[in-house]
Amino acid sequence: MEGFTAANVFWSVIILGLCILWAKIWQVMWLKPRRIRSMLLKQGIKGPEPHFFYGNFQQIKTIQSNFTQPDPHHGSSISHSAWVSSISPHLQQWAQQYGPVYLYSIMNQQHLYVGDPELMKAMNLQKSMDLGKPTYNSKSMEPLIGDGIIRANGPYWAHQRKLIAPEFFLNKAKHMLGLMEECATAMIRRWETQIESNGGVADISVDKDLKIVAADIISKACFGSSYSQGKQIFAKLKTLQESMSKQNIFFGIAHFRLLPTKSNKLIWRLQKEVETLILEIVNSRRKNGQGSAEKDLLQAMLENASNTDDLNLKNAYKIDKIIVDNCKNIYFAGQETTALTASWCLMLLALYPEWQQRIRTEILDICGDKITECLLDLDKLRQLKTLNMVIQETLRLYGPGVLTTREVFSDMKFGNITVPKGTNIWVFIPILHRDVENWGPDANEFRPERFSGSMAEACKYPQLYVPFGFGNRLCLGQTFATLQLKIVVSLLVSNFNFAVSPEYRHWPVNQMVLVPQHGIRLLVTKVNGN
């Protein structure tokens, strides 16, 4: 009798557990998605019909497989818009079919595509922490950016912002102008040697060299005297980024990330190596005690994190995790994106040499023959209006961000639309930045003069210009990145002429950021008189 009772209890527990598991699966896979879709459909928001479990995933695969990839453009035939259709073609096809706001599904995740100006304006003005970064692919992104400020949400995000943001304010960033100039000058000397050894003209892959410069700058800014170790860290992070970009992490299908595949093993190894290298530098600083002579970003993070009482982060593991994750974030947001923007900027200047001359003339008018000293003066940098217009137009046409996403953590109202909790919002930046209704009939053309006045004069909806993100999640390093772009581009244009190499094949692709699939090859010569 006792055995029978024990068996009954055992099987009752098993059945109860299975019922609870089934109820959980039913809630996650059916009830929650159904609630989101029902609320949005009632407000007139439509989209492709999803299939149970897979959502619209199969339709996405079909659209992508049927998409005909155009040939890369060369020379004078380079288009600033033709390549856009190759990035997430399903998003663009559905926008044509359902309008600028529509609903689609990937497995149990419900996505709201937003390309409507008024809705974007409402989201841009929203400061609530209930609008944050999506959690469904956080685990997939963890090897690259961990729980750093790029991906964190709520109080944890606010805490990290409080620790890190002051280090990128103008009064701190301006002290880094010297190292920006130093690193750019080192590359200029290398290019001069190449030009001389090639008879006065060098065919240079400028994107590769600009990544080296950006890595040098961010390594010195972040790690100070340990910058050589920083360069090792960033080189491994670059390999890690390339490995992860081959996986479909943006679809949120991360179920295979725990399997010991060849790709996953490489990602795990690189993640461990990066974290070990960062902690070696951190522990070395700790041995020097508080008040180290180092005045870099790493030291600031270490001191700020150690001095905080917020969120019970006063234990070594959590402090180390904040530092490790945000060193990764600084690389991803600070090195790669700035180098790419500078590369695209030089490509555009090579296509439109009259803008090269306009920048040179402006620099000579403001700086005279003391260009280096002039560029270390913030007041002088602010006067370089032409340079600023070119950088703004580069960010519009070739900004590093391609897709920006948000998750709604409680029901929220944007304009006259109520977006239910759990909805993932997707914004496709290249389309926003080429909207003819907003930018005018020349939206696909390179016209820096559109930024000669205020942003309100440049376009109808300034909120649709989002190269550094939107809302309260604007890039913390915006000031640092802009200063770096101004220093590097102005020094290069002052010293060199740029033309498009016959070997250059123009085809931007999305690898988490907008990268030139075939690199950026330019013909580089010395400016007369230099």
**What would the two tokens of residue 486 be?**
């101004």
In the chain, % of residues over pLDDT 70: 91
**27: pLDDT strictly greater than 70:** no
List pLDDT tens digits, range 131-147: 999 988 777 788 888 88
CA angle 414, 405, 239 (to 5 degrees): 170
B/e letters for 229-256, b = 16+ CB within 10 Å, e = fewer, are bbbebbebbbebbebbbebebbbbbbee
> Using one digit for the tens of pLDDT, what is the confidence trace for 394-410?
999 999 999 999 999 99
Instruction: Give pLDDT, residue 313.
Output: 52
The reply to whether 38 falls in a domain is no
Q: Per-residue pLDDT tens for 58-91?
A: 999 999 888 877 777 666 678 999 899 999 999 9
For residue 114, give the H/E element and its range: strand 109-114
Residue 33 belongs to a domain: no
Residue 509 within any structural domain of the chain: yes
State pLDDT tens for residues 444-479: 999 999 999 999 899 999 989 999 998 888 888 888
- Is it the case that residue 247 has pLDDT exceeding 80? no
d(CA 204, CA 63): 37
pLDDT band at 250 (very low <50, low <70, confident <90, very high): very low
Structure tokens at 375: 């560029």
CA–CA separation, 530 and 526 (whole Å) = 7
Instruction: Provide the CATH number for the domain around residue 82.
Output: 1.10.630.10
Show the tokens assigned to 330: 């600084």
Average pLDDT for 385-393: 97
Task: Give the pLDDT mean for 481-491.
Answer: 94
Place 391 in a pLDDT band, splitting at 50, 70 and 90: very high
Q: Helix (H, G, I), strand (E, B), or coil: what is residue 132? A: strand
In degrees rounded to 5, what are phi and psi of residue 266? -65, -45
Structure tokens at 347: 């490509």
Domain count for the chain: 1
pLDDT at 437: 93
Question: What pLDDT does 74 receive?
Answer: 66
Q: What single-letter DSSP state applies at residue 99? A: -
Supply 246's token pair.
């081959």
- Per-residue pLDDT, averaged over 497-526, amounts to 94
Nearest Cα to 331, choosing from 187, 172, 468, 481? 481
525 forms bridges with which residues in the sheet?
Answer: 497
Question: Cβ of 113: how many Cβ atoms within 10 Å?
Answer: 26
Which of the four pLDDT bands, split at 50, 70 and 90, describes residue 251? Answer: very low
Higher per-residue confidence, 316 vs 305:
305
Provide the residue range defining the domain that includes 165: 43-526
Partners of 524 in the beta sheet?
A: 202, 498
Q: pLDDT tier at 253 (50, 70, 90 boundaries)?
A: very low
Domain contains 77: yes
Neighbours of 285 (CB within 10 A): 21
DSSP state of 361: H
Q: What is the pLDDT of residue 76?
A: 61
* Dist. CA 456–CA 386, nearest whole Å: 18
Identity of residue 56: N
Residues 182-201 pLDDT 10s: 999 999 999 999 999 999 99
Kindly tell me if the per-residue pLDDT of 530 is higher than 70: no
**CA angle, residues 412, 413, 416, in degrees to nearest 5:** 160
pLDDT of residue 309: 59
Over residues 491-500, the mean pLDDT reads 97
The reply to whether 459 sits in an annotated binding site is no
For 198-295, where are the alpha helices, taking DSSP H only? 206-223, 227-245, 262-287
**Distance in angstroms (rounded) separating the CA atoms of residues 243 and 392:** 31
Q: Does 56 map to a domain? A: yes
Query: How far is the C-alpha of 213 from the C-alpha of 105, rounded, in Å?
Result: 41
Provide the token pair at 476. 């913390």
- Note whether residue 9 is domain-resident: no
Sign of CA dihedral 367, 213, 162, 244: positive
Distance in angstroms (rounded) separating the CA atoms of residues 402 and 428: 6
Alpha carbon of residue 449 to chain centroid:
26
The pLDDT > 90 percentage for the chain reads 49
Q: Is the pLDDT of residue 311 over 70?
A: no
* Residue 447, token pair as written in the block: 């016209």
Would 263 be classed as within a structural domain?
Answer: yes
Tokens of 69: 């990839």
Amino acid at 202: A
The enclosing H or E element of 163 equals helix 154-164
Which residues face 73 on adjacent strands?
506
pLDDT of residue 3: 52
Q: Which amino acid does the sequence have at 102?
A: Y
Question: Is the confidence at residue 249, as pLDDT, over 50?
Answer: no
pTM of this prediction exceeds 0.85: yes
**Three-state DSSP class for residue 100:** coil
In a domain, 29, yes or no: no
pLDDT band at 295 (very low <50, low <70, confident <90, very high): confident
Query: Residue 55 forms beta bridges with which residues?
Result: 51, 106
Average pLDDT value over all residues in the chain: 86
Burial (CB count within 10 angstroms: exposed 0-12, middle 13-18, buried 19+), residue 287:
exposed
